[in-house]
Structure 1
Amino acid sequence: MTDYYANPSTMTLLYSLKKHLALPKTSWQICLLAAIGGVASAGLIILFTASIDFIQQWYLPQKEDYTSLDAVSRFDLPIIGALLILLFAKLTGYKYLRTGIPFVLHRLKVAHGVIPLRNTLNQFVGSVLALASGFSVGREGPAVHLGAACSSFIGSFLKLPHNAIRTLCACGIAAGISASFNTPLAAVIFVMEVIMREYKVHVFIPVMIASIVGSLITSHTYGPAHKFEYFNKITIVVGDYPLLIMLGILLGILAFAFNRYLTLIIKHSSQFHIISRFLFAALITGALGAAVPHAMGTDLTAIAFAIDGNVHYQLLLGLLLAKLIMTIVALGLGVPGGIIGPILSIGAIGGVSAAAIANHFFLQDTLITDYALMGMAGFMAATLNAPLAALIAVVELSNQLEIIIPAMIVITTASLTSGQFFNNRSILVMQLEIQGLIYRHPPIEKSLLRIGAMGIMQENFRLLDPEHLSNNTNFLNVSTNNELLIVKESSPSPSFTLLQPIQAALNDTPPIIKQQKLIPLSYQATLAEAYALLKDTRDGGVYLYDGAEDNIIGVLMFVQIRRYLIEGKAN
């Protein structure tokens, strides 16, 4: 072979790494990169959390204790936070305000998980300010965004194949969620069920490693305990199952209402400027926060108040309504932050409300914390359409395996009610569709995304001078050992033509040669990108280049892609 990589000195370790990672296989190399990405993602999440705590210590005796503020201060705080978010957004550019899980799903489709720096900066600073100023948003959305950005940056910096960058993006998301909640298994399941929407071993293993790393780092920093330490041992018995079924039905209806009104606000508010939207969200948050302080902030304040045990069901219903409105308005109007934290809070309050009503009217002796957990599981499953992630999350948050059967009853009932009777879907998918963001992969494309073109390219080729296009007499003598023969032309621009003999020379008749112009494609591309260039003609091929387009390193033919789709292998 007489191409660019024929010189052994150019066969660098990095090139070998890239070629290896282009294949959909589990390897120690991708696992090592996943661990490095997990460390970076967890470190960024710790900085994110510390920034929120640092700001809140200036005006709150305890973090998220908004009851210590007077009503006027609670009203003013979200407005101040919104103004600061808008000021930073103006410095970075308003068009970079798309953040959170839906944006990451969109970037996985259009950019293989690579997140722009300005969006990441807006996510970090905007979410810190939103969470510190009492908006009803969560930390897991920023954790997903920041983790994805951190790990995908490593892949982009090393210029790895796009399929490897997608895997690293998933690893960063798992590390971010695990670092935020200290729930490594739930983080893995969430990534596979909600983000990637498929279970593949070559992705599952590095995602698991990144999740473990994220959990270990935050456990070492903040201790091994979860932030939901107040859940007692589950006391639900078989006799409580009818009430669990009723709770699941109510949660399914509530999830439908939540998803519907959130998407309606997103749809109809898009015509207003971001300044008007943020200030209106701040006014609603401030007004409700002044009246119901426990509804402000993330999930901790509201859940701790709801499971106190001495709260009347009417007050719980008021807290539930306030939390619903504050969350829908904040997220619907674009305030940066996550959705899972508020979902867990709303579900917990809904479960506690159902238990309080049952205790009041039916004289039951229902343990409040049991139904808080059931509400969290059912509402999360119905709103995100992620039943397995919801189940694993509540098991890890409660540290109790006894919760599995009761939680499954609530989850299945809530999911069936929401999906079967109201055609409810994942709120993340609904957000993407209402905002016009592409996120779906056709089945063929989804299969081809798993493998990089570099992994199966043909490297055994010989570059010929343009004179071979006109002089075919000794054409067959040029090729040896099944080499591909490629003519390189430099004028007016670099181009490569593949020469394929169709019929050998007979007597004085020259050989018949088929000429196919090769399409340039970056070596980082996946088979999906190559297929997109060749699907119309269903013939020919692409040449892969490194850096400049005249630096050819391999050739990929359409027949290889077709063989991969039919047989599962390309060579």
Structure 2
Amino acid sequence: MKPVSAFKKRLALPQTSWQLCLLAIFGGFFAALLIILFTLTIDGLEELFKYQVGQYISFDALSRFLIPIAGVSLILAMSWLTGYQYIRSGIPFVLHRLKIAYGVIPFRNTLNQFWGGAVALAAGFSVGREGPAVHIGAAGASYVGNKLNLPYNSIRTLCASGIAAAIAATFNTPIAAVMFVMEVILREYKIHIFIPIMLASIIGSMVTSSVYGPVLEFDFFSILSLDHSIFPYLVLLGILLGALASAFNHSLIYILDKFKRWPIVIRLGLAAIITGLFALFAPVTIDPLHSEVSLALGLDINEQWKIICYLLIAKILMTLFAIGLGIPGGMIGPILAIGALTGITMSIAIGPFIDIPNVANDMALMGMAGFMAATLNAPLAALLAVVELSNQLEVVVPAMIVISTACLISGQFFNNRSIFIMQLNLQNLPYRKPPLETSLQRIGVIGIMQERLKVLMLDRGSAQQEALTTSLEEYVVSQEQDQEGHIHYYWHQHLVINNVSQIDTYQLKPISSQATLAEAYLALKTERCGGVYIYQQEKANIIGMISFEQIRSYLHEGKLT
């Protein structure tokens, strides 16, 4: 019986440990490298479509129309090579895998996400980088944990750390990345999880900053007024954003539901045609890095409000059909752009009533905060995102006004929920576990298993006699082999009741050394007695056991014995 290392035992327990922090740093570094590779892939693909990166507007009309179609062809080619059943990707898929498989993600899904997301962004579809970043970061970090054969509860933490590192590496927003993971991905706050995630986020931001420099994607928010006189209008903006977020979420779910049975080739082809048509009449809408927001802020809003409204409508429709028809990409990037354009539109409406310089910048930033918060149901992540993206702490109070109003209106009056949860419900992907199982998932079996085993090559009757002479602190297990060559283990429990010794015999059920107490509980919950044995690599390699009484003790008393 090979002993388990103290390193893995420590990782199996729900405690802050330097071992897990070190793994999170390494996982965050690996995730950041993948994001750099992803970015380089996007740049390389853009050079295939055009001579200058990010300048679709300079292309002729026919080329603008054909670029999305060429992009879909490349996405479908990869999907055909890997298998269409592995095309599912993005944040909802990661949420699903995090809950049912502790964040372990199939390689082919990740390959489709990496390639499909890069092509979609290079081809000008209205999708964001954060969806592929979350998927790639989660897959990269969890791959590290799985290759090291770590307990699943620690792999889950590594997966969350990889997500935080990937988001921080993509947007250079380490604090918002941590809050996004805690608020949207994990939907819980535990200190032993928070610290590794925070360290991974810092590493992710540092790695990409050292390569690309400390560049802020939204540098057009460098000058803000944030005068107190606009605070009442921020409440109106929040009401508008809450209603718009609900309409956006329900429209997206409607499109997903209506087209979900269509063949993937037809769905992606239709998305390419719709994007190509918008590119003919508003080429700026398919340029990356929110070019439409930069254009809108550069216009004389008193004269060009029709253009701004057109950009807003075009961005909403392009995003709905791109995501709704299955283009592999995220939606947070477009959501930020839609929120900014909504804020600029609001600034036009209130322009005659106020005399504040840069009011369009103020309202654009507040629009980003409110729309992201209401759409994702993530107020704290949205608040910290706009603080870091604008690099100004002065936005906190006005952003809180917009965010609280938008979330209240969206949730209370329109029954809106997080778009990711709505997608999971539509796709029938489980993302919840009963509270009891959720609690047990935090503890790996090797952390509390009994290792004082006396494994005997005896028949059950002889093993029971041996158990009578063995210390109560030592677990007696007999090993038997059936006619088919399968090995079974039996636990002979020595009990003393009213000063009388007796032996109860139970057949132990096999559980992997990577499993958590949740799997052990599910294996025993019908009989509510006996135990499981822990094996490493092969089922015949027993390394310990856990009795149902140990699980019961933890559930009733909170003790890990």
Instruction: Report the TM-score when normalising by structure 2.
Output: 0.96
Secondary structure at the residue paired with 2:546?
Answer: strand
- Counterpart position of 1:367: 359
Give 1:476 deviation, angstroms.
Answer: 2.1
- Counterpart position of 1:50: 40
Q: Quick one: structure 1 residues 487 and 69, their matched pair in 2 at CA, closer, same or farther if it must change by over 3 Å?
A: same
Q: Quick one: structure 1 residues 505 and 499, their matched pair in 2 at CA, closer, same or farther if it must change by over 3 Å?
A: farther
Partners of 2:358 and 2:212 in 1: CA distance: 33
- Counterpart position of 2:26: 36
Runs of 4+ in 1 over 6 A off after TM superposition: 361-364
Matched, 1:490 2:489: no
Matched, 1:227 2:217: yes
Partners of 1:36 and 1:253 in 2: CA distance: 42
Matched, 1:19 2:14: no
- Counterpart position of 2:91: 101
Identify which range, 360-369 or 313-322, moves more after superposition: 360-369
Identify which range, 490-499 or 517-526, moves more after superposition: 490-499
Matched, 1:522 2:515: no
Give 1:225 deviation, angstroms.
Answer: 2.2
Q: Which of the residues 76, 89, 92 maps onto 2:66?
A: 76
Q: Which of the residues 399, 404, 424 maps onto 1:432?
A: 424
Residues 49, 67 of structure 2: 8 Å contact kept: no
Matched, 1:500 2:510: no
Q: Which amino acid in structure 2 is aligned with residue 501 of structure 1?
A: H
Give 1:361 deviation, angstroms.
Answer: 7.2
1:81-133 deviations in Å (ceiling 9; x for gaps): 11111111111111111011011001112211011111111111111111111
Partners of 1:473 and 1:404 in 2: CA distance: 72
Q: Quick one: structure 1 residues 489 and 357, their matched pair in 2 at CA, closer, same or farther if it must change by over 3 Å?
A: same
Residues 472, 494 of structure 2: 8 Å contact kept: no
Partners of 2:535 and 2:49 in 1: CA distance: 57
Give 1:360 deviation, angstroms.
Answer: 5.1
Q: Which amino acid in structure 1 is aligned with residue 22 of structure 2?
A: L
Give 1:314 deviation, angstroms.
Answer: 1.7
Residues 359, 365 of structure 1: 8 Å contact kept: no
Q: Quick one: structure 1 residues 472 and 103, their matched pair in 2 at CA, closer, same or farther if it must change by over 3 Å?
A: closer
- Counterpart position of 1:8: none
Partners of 2:67 and 2:463 in 1: CA distance: 80
Q: Which amino acid in structure 2 is aligned with residue 32 of structure 1?
A: L
| Structure 2 residue runs without a partner (length 5+) | none
Partners of 1:468 and 1:529 in 2: CA distance: 27
Partners of 1:232 and 1:563 in 2: CA distance: 57
Identify which range, 317-326 or 558-567, moves more after superposition: 558-567
Q: Which amino acid in structure 2 is aligned with residue 209 of structure 1?
A: L
Q: CA RMSD in A?
A: 1.8
Give 1:230 deviation, angstroms.
Answer: 1.6
Identify which range, 369-378 or 309-318, moves more after superposition: 309-318
1:328-477 maps to which residues of 2 (within 5 A)?
A: 328-359=320-351, 367-470=359-462, 472-473=464-465, 475-477=467-469
Give 1:71 deviation, angstroms.
Answer: 2.1
Identify which range, 112-121 or 49-58, moves more after superposition: 49-58
Q: Quick one: structure 1 residues 72 and 446, their matched pair in 2 at CA, closer, same or farther if it must change by over 3 Å?
A: same
- Counterpart position of 1:138: 128
Give 1:466 deviation, angstroms.
Answer: 2.8
1:8-61 deviations in Å (ceiling 9; x for gaps): xxx47xx32222110111111111111111111111101111111122234445
Q: Which of the residues 255, 260, 265 maps onto 1:270?
A: 260
Q: Which amino acid in structure 2 is aligned with residue 159 of structure 1?
A: N
Identify which range, 48-57 or 114-123, moves more after superposition: 48-57
1:416-435 deviations in Å (ceiling 9; x for gaps): 11100000000000011111
Q: Which amino acid in structure 1 is aligned with residue 85 of structure 2?
A: K
Q: Which of the residues 177, 183, 194 maps onto 1:204?
A: 194
Give 1:569 deviation, angstroms.
Answer: 2.1
Residues 313, 357 of structure 1: 8 Å contact kept: no
Residues 133, 297 of structure 1: 8 Å contact kept: no
Q: Quick one: structure 1 residues 280 and 489, their matched pair in 2 at CA, closer, same or farther if it must change by over 3 Å?
A: same
Residues 369, 403 of structure 2: 8 Å contact kept: yes
Partners of 2:416 and 2:460 in 1: CA distance: 63
- Counterpart position of 1:126: 116
State how many pairs are aligned.
557
Partners of 2:186 and 2:464 in 1: CA distance: 51
Secondary structure at the residue paired with 2:224?
Answer: coil
